[in-house]
Amino acid sequence: MTAPAVAVSEPRHWRRRLSQAAPYILLAPGILWLVYFFVWPAVQMFLMSISSGTLDSGFRVTGSTTAYADALGKFQVQFGNSLLYGGTATILDFLIGFPVAYTVAFRGGRYKNLLLFLVIAPFFTSFLIRTISWKILLGDEGPLFGFLKNDLHILSTDFTVVGTPVSVIAGLTYNFLPFMILPLYVALEKIDPRLVEAANDLYAGRWEAFRRVTLPLAMPGVFAGSLLTFIPALGDYINAELLGSPKTRMIGNVIQARFLQQNDYPLAAALSFLLMAAILVAVIFYARALGTERLTG
Amino acid sequence: MTEKDARTTVDLTRDLTRRRFLQGSALAGFSAFLAACSTNGGSAAPTAAGSAVANIPTPPPASATPQASPTPVPSPTGPLHWAQWPAYIDLTGKAGDEGVYAPGSSPTLEAFKAKYKLDVDYQEKIEANEDFYATIQPQLQGGLPTGWDLITVTDWLAAKIISKGWAEKIDQGNVPNCVANLRDALKNQVWDPGQDYHYPWQSGMAGIGYNKTTLAKNGKGEPKSLADLWALPADKMTFLTEKRDSFGLGLLKLGKTADPTLTTDADLQAVHDDIKPLVDKGLRFAGNEYLQDFASKKVWAAMAWSGDLASSGSADDVWVAPAEGSLVFTDNMIIPKGAANKYTAELMMNFVYDPKIAGNIANYVYYVSPVKGAEDVLKELNKDAPLDQALLDLLFPPADVIAKQHNFQFLSDELEAKMNELYADLAGV
């Protein structure tokens, strides 16, 4: 009597198991990806940061904290520069990017796609080439300052921008602008214009409607855009390398130099870890401040 | 840099320490070589380099590989991957004007391609020895191919790579031109006495480069000495990322000798303290990219390598040997271990040691050719419009310049560690 019952329940049982496992199976590629390309390297990096030794003799995990002490003790200036330049560039990107995204989203009409393409078009060129071009554009005798100096005589001849924080921030702002514009655009584009009309009907002026309707609804875009800009800008070293001077070095330059020139892997790993930790803390505070849980639902 | 970092650097080169020994011939050879180049410039004067203790690594002990055994003639394979410094071979047309290689722009490479019917992947990848070394060191360490068949690196790095056994042994049977035409003064380097692993590419000097028009426009005189250079606006200058050159010239500026055997940590510290105020006023460090800064008028003056500005700069760009003295170096061709096209690399070495080819190269790069007979070819090439004296002085330095040349290549591990630490502070990393 029991035999047929078993025969029926076995596949059912199996199917239920499968349906329970389905989410995990579907997630598996992503999880494996993260484990292999994020968790594993992060663990390796952490172990390296508490190692000592040399490249030739090999590094051994000794639990030494010298690297962290060095990293915290000697590079405050570079950490400070990173925060200052990355932060300023993010704010500038927001100030430039918001009007652009707003215009494309609400006034773009049938040119929306074309305008978006124009935002991205310069970025088909290599990051490096674009940054080197800034060196020429901002050059002392470049098209802008050369003209202001030699033809209009507005600037004194020893005026210079390349090598100062201004040019580093300009480079960062330019290079990461699309990362601000695109998320902002996506957020703004989703806003139903009738909500703004409704606000107007309820006696909200243009500014009031913007402040109380458009901006709050765009917050997920602001959040995403500022993170996508700030995080890479914080760790960037190309701009500071090409457009800066020894005085404008960012923490990325130190990590690069310690990894590739001095071969001091433990210190470089410790610096990378501290940078990651700092970013994580900053993001948590930022998310709290903006109340993103509510925004992203 | 902390004590620990310094220790790292010391350990990195500890292989070299063991092999350090008394020597003087390499330095003397250098000076003699440059003296030999100045046969038209008067008698050679004695140089600052005398007998000295220096940290010169030696090649690995003779391995089981038999010496130039008669091997069946292999057929050339390609493409030949060659890592080179910018504007360091004859270039024509637009590439020649801009000093940036583009495929098809170098007659020498085109002739090589036509002769052996294979392609050359020539890349101007080297702007500073250390940065380039960092890109190949992990592979060499791991016993993997670097992707390059031929690299051009300066004395100290060439010696380091060879001493670690990371260079392919050159089959002398494949390079008869090199054997016949290498200038005597460049032979018998302690780190590779039998030319088993290297042949020189070009020699040159580190000194002062400036743009005379920009300086005049801004009411500045032309720097003739390192002291003059230091007095120019720091944010209009670059020094070299090649630390040996920046610190070596810094020593000369302070009136100290740039001699690895006499220089002390305190001397290097003094150089650091002398340069630091300039950094605070905006001084930057550059490799070969100072050429772009000259082109964009971003720099008015710089520590520069002889030949660069003459070959790739504008007519207003000048290189001078500083009154205090200059530094000499040789860049060398090496076949890194595991090169896929070793035989082709040897063919290339042989090819560029043909005096005709070497003369053509010298006629563009304005560095000192290591090839006997290149000088005659060069003169023949310019017989209708003789080169002006300033250029000839770069190719065949006059006696008074040679008398004040220094070799600051082979530093002891301790000195190198100190220099690295001081440089890291100057460079803000």
Residue of B nearest to A255 (CA): B429
| ipTM of the complex, rounded to two decimals | 0.70
B399 burial (CB, 10 Å; 0-12 / 13-18 / 19+) is middle
Q: Give the largest Cα separation in chain B, rounded.
A: 66
Q: Is residue B63 part of a domain?
A: no
Could you tell me if B237 and B320 lie in one domain?
yes
Residue type at position A53: G
Say if residue B79 is preceded by a cis peptide, omega within 30 of 0: yes
Could you tell me if A153 and A210 lie in one domain?
yes
pLDDT in tens, A196-254: 899 989 988 889 998 999 999 999 999 999 999 999 999 999 999 889 988 899 999 99
Residue of B nearest to A248 (CA): B428
| pLDDT category of residue B41 using cuts at 50, 70 and 90 | very low
CA–CA separation, B313 and B319 (whole Å) = 10
Q: What is the CATH number of the domain that holds A292?
A: 1.10.3720.10
What the block records as the tokens of A271 is 């610096």
Could you tell me if B144 and B84 lie in one domain?
yes
pLDDT in tens, A5-36: 555 567 778 888 888 888 889 999 999 999 99
Closest CB from B297, B428, B429 relative to A139: B297
pLDDT in tens, A40-83: 999 999 999 999 887 767 788 998 888 999 889 889 999 999 99
Could you tell me if A212 and A262 lie in one domain?
yes
Q: What is the CATH number of the domain that holds B102?
A: 3.40.190.10
Q: Is residue A58 part of a domain?
A: no
Partner residues linked to B202 by β-bridges: B331
Check if A108 contacts B (Cβ < 8 Å): no
Could you tell me if A136 and A212 lie in one domain?
yes
Q: Which domain holds residue B256?
A: 205-328+405-427
Could you tell me if A12 and A93 lie in one domain?
no
Best A81, A261, A265, A267 residue to mutate vs chain B (most B CBs within 10 Å): A261
Q: Give Cβ neighbours of residue A144 (< 8 Å, ≥ 6 apart).
A: A137, A138
Check if A139 contacts B (Cβ < 8 Å): yes
Please report, in angstroms and rounded to a whole number, the separation of the first and last CA atoms in chain A.
53
pLDDT in tens, B45-73: 334 333 344 567 777 765 544 455 555 67
What the block records as the tokens of B157 is 């790095």
- Contacting residues of A for B218, CB less than 8 Å apart: 157-158
Q: Reply yes or no on whether the pLDDT at B6 is more than 70.
A: no
- The whole-number pLDDT of residue A292 equals 60
Long-range contacts of A94-101 (CB under 8 A, 24+ apart): A94/A180, A94/A222, A94/A225, A94/A226, A94/A229, A96/A173, A96/A177, A96/A180, A97/A177, A97/A180, A97/A181, A97/A184, A97/A225, A98/A184, A100/A181, A101/A180, A101/A181, A101/A182, A101/A184, A101/A185, A101/A188, A101/A221
- Pairwise CB contact (< 8 Å): B292 & A245: no
Residue A49 region, left (φ>0) first, then alpha (ψ -120 to 50), else beta? alpha
CA–CA separation, A114 and A131 (whole Å) = 25
Lowest mean pLDDT among A282-296, B299-313, B372-386: A282-296
Could you tell me if A155 and A260 lie in one domain?
yes
CA distance A166 to chain B (A): 13
CA–CA separation, A199 and A206 (whole Å) = 9
- The whole-number pLDDT of residue B136 equals 92
pLDDT in tens, B252-292: 999 998 988 899 999 999 999 999 999 999 899 998 888 88
Position of tokens 């003639």?
Answer: B73
Q: Is residue B248 part of a domain?
A: yes
Could you tell me if B217 and B320 lie in one domain?
yes
Could you tell me if A133 and A278 lie in one domain?
yes
- Alpha carbons within 13 angstroms on the beta-carbon side of residue A6 total 3
Mean pLDDT of B20-30: 37
Measured CA to CA in angstroms, residue B35 lies from A43, B45, B106, B186 at distances of: 57, 7, 30, 11
For chains A and B, what is the number of CB pairs under 8 angstroms?
A: 106
- Pairwise CB contact (< 8 Å): A246 & B218: no
Could you tell me if A201 and A268 lie in one domain?
yes
The count of structural domains within chain A is: 2
Residues of chain B contacting A, Cβ within 8 Å: 1-2, 4-5, 7-9, 11-12, 14-15, 130-131, 134-135, 137, 141, 214, 217-218, 233, 235-236, 279-280, 282-285, 292, 296-298, 420, 424, 426-429
Partner residues linked to B81 by β-bridges: B121
The count of structural domains within chain B is: 2
- Pairwise CB contact (< 8 Å): B297 & A263: no
Q: Is residue A67 part of a domain?
A: no
CA–CA separation, B176 and B353 (whole Å) = 9
Could you tell me if B307 and B223 lie in one domain?
yes
Q: Reply yes or no on whether the pLDDT at B1 is more than 70.
A: no
Residue type at position B238: T
- Pairwise CB contact (< 8 Å): B296 & A132: no
Could you tell me if B339 and B353 lie in one domain?
yes
Could you tell me if A30 and A97 lie in one domain?
no
- Pairwise CB contact (< 8 Å): A249 & B428: yes
CA distance A53 to chain B (A): 7
Could you tell me if B291 and B333 lie in one domain?
no
- Contacting residues of A for B4, CB less than 8 Å apart: 52, 66, 70
Q: Is residue A70 part of a domain?
A: no
Q: Which domain holds residue A226?
A: 75-296
pLDDT in tens, A95-123: 999 999 999 999 988 999 999 999 999 88
Could you tell me if B313 and B177 lie in one domain?
no
- Contacting residues of B for A157, CB less than 8 Å apart: 217-218
CA–CA separation, B350 and B344 (whole Å) = 10
Contact (CB, 8 A) for B218 and A157: yes
CA–CA separation, A150 and B214 (whole Å) = 12
Q: Give Cβ neighbours of residue B275 (< 8 Å, ≥ 6 apart).
A: B239, B246, B250, B283, B426
Could you tell me if B189 and B209 lie in one domain?
no
SS3 B349: helix
Length of chain A: 297
Could you tell me if A238 and A291 lie in one domain?
yes
- Pairwise CB contact (< 8 Å): B284 & A163: yes
